Amino acid sequence: MGRSPCCEKAHTNKGAWTKEEDDRLIAYIRAHGDGCWRSLPKAAGLLRCGKSCRLRWINYLRPDLKRGNFTEDEDELIIKLHSLLGNKWSLIAARLPGRTDNEIKNYWNTHIRRKLVSRGIDPSTHKLRKETTVSREVNTISFLGDKDVEEDNPDKIFLDKDEKIKKILVEEKCPDLNLDLKISLPAEPSIENGGKTSACFVCTLGVQNSKDCSCCNFAATAHGSSSSKGNSNGYENLGVWK
């Protein structure tokens, strides 16, 4: 039994969006806000699938999008986050304000992948390729071998993974990367951190109120990050501080 189609395909436009369709979508979302994508096309007078509207808005029409080329810093950040998160483009995009998952995914496939290959690094594993003569250091993050523990206590292994990620990336792989990752929430600041708004690495991975959650415990324990030293490199609101 197949899944029912998300919309009536017979009477929906496909392909590139016209200026008029864009204007209609923008006007409707400005007036009513986004969400409820299934009913939005009809309400906005668009002959489009709701998913198509959502994609168009998120990837192209949203006012807070940062158009234009990726900077070298963004490149490196994407590479580091990809080595940590894999193809979790939405998670990566969450740490790059103004960039969308689709944009990052495309950029990865067209630019960064090639860049890594030219450096002799396998883009999918972040390992140095065997044929290179460069010394082989730890270049990947593996959770293999924790299977027994994971089955017994999934929560524990999650926190252990968090610590492992921090250890490998901070101490061995990316000594310049602070993995107290934080996502800014532009509309609704929740946690004040010396003027910054952020959620800690543990929270961003979905483990809130844990003992390792630095933002949930923020009142009691201040982040020991470089932010308190005023050491800014423009990534404060990404939560990735050098």
- Residues forming contacts to DNA in the complex (CB under 7 A) are 3-4, 6, 9, 13-17, 35-38, 48-52, 54-56, 59-60, 87-91, 101-103, 105-107, 109-111, 114
Question: Based on CB atoms, which residue is closest to DNA, 13 or 125?
Answer: 13
Q: How many other CB atoms are found less than 10 A from the CB of residue 93?
A: 20
DSSP code for 165 = H
By CB atoms closer than 10 A (0-12, 13-18, 19+), residue 202 is: buried
CB of 106 to DNA, least distance (A): 4
Question: Based on CB atoms, which residue is closest to DNA, 51 or 167?
Answer: 51
CB of 31 to DNA, least distance (A): 17
Question: Based on CB atoms, which residue is closest to DNA, 50 or 197?
Answer: 50
Which residues, 6 or more positions from 84, have their beta carbon under 8 angstroms from its beta carbon?
141, 165, 169, 179
DSSP code for 193 = E
Are residues 186 and 195 in contact, defined by beta-carbon separation less than 8 angstroms? no
Question: Based on CB atoms, which residue is closest to DNA, 89 or 235?
Answer: 89
CB of 6 to DNA, least distance (A): 6
CB of 239 to DNA, least distance (A): 17
